[in-house]
Amino acid sequence: MRFVIAPDSYKGSLTAVQVADIIAEGLLEVFPQAEVLKVPVADGGEGTVDAFLCALGGEKQFIKVTGPLGEKVKAFFGILPDGTAVIEMAAASGLPLVPGNKRNPLITTTYGTGELIKAALEKGCHTIIVGIGGSATNDGGVGMAQALGIRFLDGKGRELPFGGGSLARLAQIDMSGLDPRITNTTIIVACDVDNPLCGPRGASAVFGPQKGASPDTVKVLDQNLAHYAKVIKEQLGIDILNLPGAGAAGGLGAGLVSLLGATLKPGIEIVISSTKLEEKIKGASLVITGEGKTDYQTAHGKAPVGIAKLAKKLGVPVLAISGGLGERYEEVYEAGLDAVFSIVPRPVTLEQAFAKGHLFLKEKVVNIARLLKVWERQFL
């Protein structure tokens, strides 16, 4: 038996590397002679930097940047052996950086993400991969662009303050101060969703509530992003309103494309290519993937479905072992997954699930492996 283990992280509980290690341990307990290949992955969210560094080597750089609420936070980015920088916007502008009682996408900013990009430029990086999952923001990437010298002005020529709440006042975008090094830099955006900027599937409606937006606030944010898109189209000649992925990270996808000339790509496709995962899956007996929570959103660009599509193309069965299963998770079957499992063995609180995630995962893997062992004895 040859197993390929390619999971994403269990956000808030286990990193992708930890998940892969535990799955490997459980498989080898039942199949001690098996060949087990671990390839931790990410789709642009938490763990993207570590996935690249684990697969390709390189160094992690730590710097202080502006957090979502304007305070200083310790963030990081990676530099690969070929000089490519890998950034997680969540490290600077992520939801876990904002306490639950202070979450307010009207005021949170992506400024720190722009500072990470600037730090990569100062290290001489000419290719930058930006993972844009897990944001606390809804500012269309305006904060990111401000950190790189672009000015966003109201009708009286005043600089807009941080946050998606100020975008309604946007009258002029002044590109003259943009860091000139951006012109000679290739920016690739690793995106984990395909949502447009506005509307029922847009940044505000789908992701705003988890960032602290009330129904009324969602309407304001959506209207503000629509105005932002209108100004960009009028002044820069770029239409971002319905671009797939533009709504990722509160519209950061739209801002990176329209303001920095970036290219949006599914994050898992970038990781698959960089880690040469296709070659590793060829001839495998089974691929095991997973994530923190599998639901209907998984089918729209998340790592497990990206892995499943690749495995199915190669004729290899694939299953997902995830922290939990959510609304309409069954949709992932049509996207290529053969089976999906939750690690939770009984009703538990979220805190208990996080605390015992490693134990629950090991138990689930051993049970699945024992079932595979029965199948092997019976049919092979």
* CATH number assigned to the domain comprising residue 213: 3.90.1510.10
* Amino acid identity at 29: E
Q: Please, are residues 211 and 250 in contact by the beta-carbon 8 Å criterion? A: yes
- Are 220 and 159 part of one and the same domain? yes
| Token pair for 95 | 């939801």
Any idea what DSSP says for residue 81?
Answer: T
Q: Is 86 helix (H, G, I), strand (E, B) or coil?
A: strand
Q: Is residue 94 domain-shared with residue 20, that is, in the same domain? A: no
Tell me the DSSP string of 212-277: T--HHHHHHHHHHHHHHHHHHHHHH----TT-TTTTGGGGHHHHHHHHH--EEEEHHHHHHHHHTH
CATH number assigned to the domain comprising residue 297: 3.40.50.10350
The 3-state secondary structure of 127-184 reads EEEEECCCECCCCCCHHHHHHCCCEEECCCCCECCCCHHHHHHCCEEECCCCCHHHHH
- pLDDT for 44 equals 84
pLDDT at position 45 is 82
Block residue for tokens 């998984």: 298
In a domain, 298, yes or no: yes
pTM of the model: 0.88
The DSSP symbol for 82 reads T
Confirm whether 316 is domain-assigned: yes
Of 246, 267, 288, the last residue of a domain is 267
Alpha carbon 342 to chain centroid distance? 21
pLDDT recorded at residue 299: 84
Instruction: Give yes or no: residues 280 and 261 share one domain.
Output: no
Domains contained in the chain, number: 2
* Statement to judge: residues 263 and 282 lie in one domain: no
What integer pLDDT is reported at residue 135 of this predicted model? 95
Residue 43 lies in a domain: no
Q: Report the half-sphere exposure of 247 (CA within 13 A, side-chain side).
A: 24
Residues 159 and 72 in one domain: yes
Shared domain check, 220 and 96: yes
Asked whether residue 98 falls in the same domain as residue 213, the answer is yes
| DSSP state for residue 14 in the 8-state scheme | B
Please indicate, yes or no, whether residues 58 and 113 belong to a single structural domain of this protein. yes
First to last CA, the chain: 11
Q: What angle do CA 255, 66, 185 make, to 5 degrees?
A: 45
- Does 151 share its domain with 232? yes
Q: Could you give the CA distance from residue 108 to residue 210 in angstroms, rounded to a whole number?
A: 13
Tell me the average pLDDT of the chain. 95
Per-residue confidence (pLDDT) for residue 76, from 0 to 100: 98
Find out whether 92 and 137 touch, Cβ atoms under 8 Å.
no
pLDDT value, residue 380: 60
| 95 domain-assigned | yes
Does 232 share its domain with 285? Answer: no
What pLDDT is attached to residue 126? 97
pLDDT of res. 51:
87
- pLDDT for residue 379: 65
CA dihedral 96, 43, 131, 279 (to 10 degrees): 140
Residue 226 lies inside a defined structural domain of this protein: yes
* Amino acid making up residue 315: G
If asked whether residues 333 and 372 sit together in one domain, one would say yes
Last residue of a domain, one of 233, 267, 301: 267
Residue 216's domain comprises 48-267
Using CA atoms, how far apart are residues 9 and 161, in angstroms rounded to an integer?
34
Q: In this structure, are 308 and 238 located in the same domain? A: no
Regions of the chain where pLDDT drops below 50: none
Pick from 238, 267, 296: which residue ends a domain? 267
